[in-house]
A and B are shown apart, each in its own frame.
Chain A
């Protein structure tokens, strides 16, 4: 496999720590972690339960904030951003796939997928980046374009005949497909998936992974998984292994050098 010589860092984590208060005790879930993720990566953050993988995923998904350290998204630091700015950035940049699917129960398949498009920023043709540069945002789609795009996604996840069904009428695998389509509807540059196969049987899990890999290749969407599913680790082209809140291994399978920042105790290496 040809190494990515000029890979662009889409996410950078620098010496991130996360401490949770647990009664009178403070638990350090992440103990100073640094790594980079490149655009188009299909990356697995793996490790046993309690290793801190979900905590890291939450922080790079902008739904939690580090106690110390810095997370950069597309080169911009997120510390100091207000809740509304974080929300907008999250909406414009990241798609989420949850372990428990997290569909809105009163909406049908089409409406669930459409939901992120109704949350705000599509009206802006351009948005101001944190560094002040004007960057193109997702274009506002016409109603027809939107319908066609959602139907295309529904078709891609194989749910055309379930288009108007509510989530409680779908199987676990079907729900996760809806969640994938929903994560992709805003054409995000990053998709975060927290244990996406944990609640699925092995066949369905494999189908879902194949689908995500296909999207990763076709759309160059960066997929970041938090998992201890061996199949995902096998499928990933970049694996970060965690143990007790520390990175123990940071491996790229394509031969490129896995970038690490100061504070990361793990030795970055490239797998041949």
Chain B
């Protein structure tokens, strides 16, 4: 074996051009893999921290739906009317179970809806969607339990104003949304001003709310459309209202009237033909605003449709004392729910964040595909270089065979040469990558761009080379070397000892 390593190193040195091509490729591949993975790791970690600390907590409990959904709402690509999110079943029982667990630090309920923000109804918020979509102010509205939500996410701070008072229909806006409103209406919104929210989830609903304050979530993206509101406002916007279930009995004449196909039967023969307008006369001019409501009769049933179902929540968000307990906790809670016959979904932050949470995974997949492409190219280039090398060394291989080297020796010799090169240049690439990252970290390079901050999970460039990545990269390089040597070696093994005699 030592002679093989000796031959490998000396051949590497002897054929510098070839070594530089192969080694450069391998070293570069390793460098890209380690730095790239560190970037993806940083992004994934930043994303995870960001979501857990600002949006999802460690664990999410929700109801079950056939459609995909997250705390940001339905993620179904199908345009169906059924966009309603499921509510947490047996909320009180689930809540009690969560709060009595010693691993749980805090729990808070959440209701999610979407809405368009405007100053007042006269602006006709819905018209904006068609005529002025660029200026449309869209918001994902979180209806929260204000008594616990801020304990769950201590990073949330009030920049201006105060928390909504109990029972008050009010919102907290992020600075970005507030700036948009200011710009759109050419005014400065201050706490106490009224804002109209047009709900666009499960039918159109309007709600006038008070601007209670401006909050800061430490968002990288100041235009993030997340609005915090009292739970009841969002419940109504989300269609979580009291229902009416009443049968109206029709008499025989009403039934036959509705069964008729002839509009004259319903509206009379001279609906538009006669001088109906001219003949119209005010029957009673004593209607006043005070008694107008009485004309509508009993509106209590209709009022129910605008009354929030208090106690209904789409989600329960949980922060644990130790985040390492997350997955055992999820497993135990899921088992408990199953045993209790509660149709609840218990999930981690990534599922809670839905598509957004899988962004790092997506970046990693894209990155890994790129790495695989590079690896394939590397294998082909290394393979071709080795084939040329073997053709050049035909006499040498023939001589070795003539002197008593078995095929296994030849195979081992080329494997050793390839792997020596792979490891040598792989380690060199890894070393350059690690040193490079340490230098970059020490420089504390600030990230001005929001996307870059999101990508690197912080406000400065901080890349952490993980031992796992380095080891897996070296293993990958080994694999590339091993794959690349297979075909050239098959050529080398065909070289007969008699080739030694044919060299000049």
Give the complex CA separation of A36 and B263 in angstroms. 126
Query: A106 contacts which of B14, B401, B402 (Cβ < 8 Å)?
Result: B14
Q: Which A81-105 residues have C-beta < 8 A from chain B?
A: 83-84, 87-88, 90-92, 96, 98-100, 102, 104-105
A54 to chain B minimum Cβ distance, whole angstroms, is 6
Residue B500 interfacial (CB < 8 Å): yes
Q: Which A53-86 residues have C-beta < 8 A from chain B?
A: 54, 57-58, 61-64, 83-84
B418 to chain A minimum Cβ distance, whole angstroms, is 16
List 12 contacting pairs A-B, 8 Å CB cutoff, sorted by A: A57-B501, A61-B402, A63-B497, A64-B498, A83-B407, A88-B406, A91-B403, A102-B396, A104-B400, A106-B14, A120-B406, A120-B409
Residue B492 interfacial (CB < 8 Å): no
B3-A100 in contact (CB<8A): no
Residue B301 interfacial (CB < 8 Å): no
Pick out which of these stretches binds chain B: A111-119, A210-218, A231-239, A264-272: A111-119
Residue A194 interfacial (CB < 8 Å): yes
Closest to B497 in A: A63
Residues of B within 8 A of A14 (CB): none
B11-A106 in contact (CB<8A): yes
Contact with A along B2-29 (1 / 0, CB 8 A): 0100110011001000000000000000
B500-A87 in contact (CB<8A): no
A222 to chain B minimum Cβ distance, whole angstroms, is 17
B10-A63 in contact (CB<8A): no
B294 to chain A minimum Cβ distance, whole angstroms, is 108
B407-A105 in contact (CB<8A): no
Give the complex CA separation of A186 and B401 in angstroms. 15
Residue B395 interfacial (CB < 8 Å): yes
Give the complex CA separation of A90 and B404 in angstroms. 6
Give the complex CA separation of A232 and B401 in angstroms. 27
Residue A107 interfacial (CB < 8 Å): yes
A98-B501 in contact (CB<8A): yes
A100 to chain B minimum Cβ distance, whole angstroms, is 5
Closest to B11 in A: A106
Residue A17 interfacial (CB < 8 Å): no
Residues of A within 8 A of B407 (CB): 83-84, 87
Residues of A within 8 A of B422 (CB): none
Residues of A within 8 A of B503 (CB): 98, 100, 102
Residues of B within 8 A of A111 (CB): 3, 6
A180 to chain B minimum Cβ distance, whole angstroms, is 13
Residues of A within 8 A of B11 (CB): 106
Residue B380 interfacial (CB < 8 Å): no
Known contacts A63-B501, A96-B500, A111-B3; is-contact A105 B403 (Cβ 8 Å)? no
Closest to A195 in B: B501
Q: How many residues of A contact B (CB 8 A)?
A: 33
Which of under 10, 10 to 19, 20 to 34, or 35 or more describes the interface residues of B? 20 to 34
Give the complex CA separation of A98 and B498 in angstroms. 11
B395-A119 in contact (CB<8A): no
Residues of A within 8 A of B395 (CB): 100, 102
Query: B497 contacts which of A54, A90, A116 (Cβ < 8 Å)?
Result: A90
Closest to A179 in B: B399
B412 to chain A minimum Cβ distance, whole angstroms, is 11
Residues of A within 8 A of B500 (CB): 63, 96, 98, 102
Query: B404 contacts which of A57, A87, A98, A106 (Cβ < 8 Å)?
Result: A87
Residues of B within 8 A of A182 (CB): 403
Closest to B3 in A: A118
Residues of A within 8 A of B404 (CB): 87-88, 90-92, 116, 119-121, 186
Q: Which A103-150 residues have C-beta < 8 A from chain B?
A: 104-107, 111, 115-116, 118-121
Closest to B403 in A: A116
Residues of A within 8 A of B401 (CB): 63, 87
Looking at A57, A62, A84, A100, the one whose CB has the most chain B CB atoms below 10 A away is: A100
Give the complex CA separation of A105 and B403 in angstroms. 15
Give the complex CA separation of A182 and B14 in angstroms. 23
Closest to A59 in B: B498
A178 to chain B minimum Cβ distance, whole angstroms, is 12
Known contacts A63-B501, A96-B500, A98-B500, then 9 further A-B pairs from the complex at CB < 8 Å, ordered by chain A residue: A58-B498, A63-B498, A64-B498, A88-B404, A96-B403, A105-B396, A107-B7, A119-B405, A186-B404
Residue B504 interfacial (CB < 8 Å): yes
Residues of A within 8 A of B399 (CB): 96, 98, 102, 104
Looking at B7, B409, B501, the one whose CB has the most chain A CB atoms below 10 A away is: B501
Give the complex CA separation of A107 and B496 in angstroms. 22
A90-B7 in contact (CB<8A): no
Closest to A114 in B: B3
B501-A90 in contact (CB<8A): no
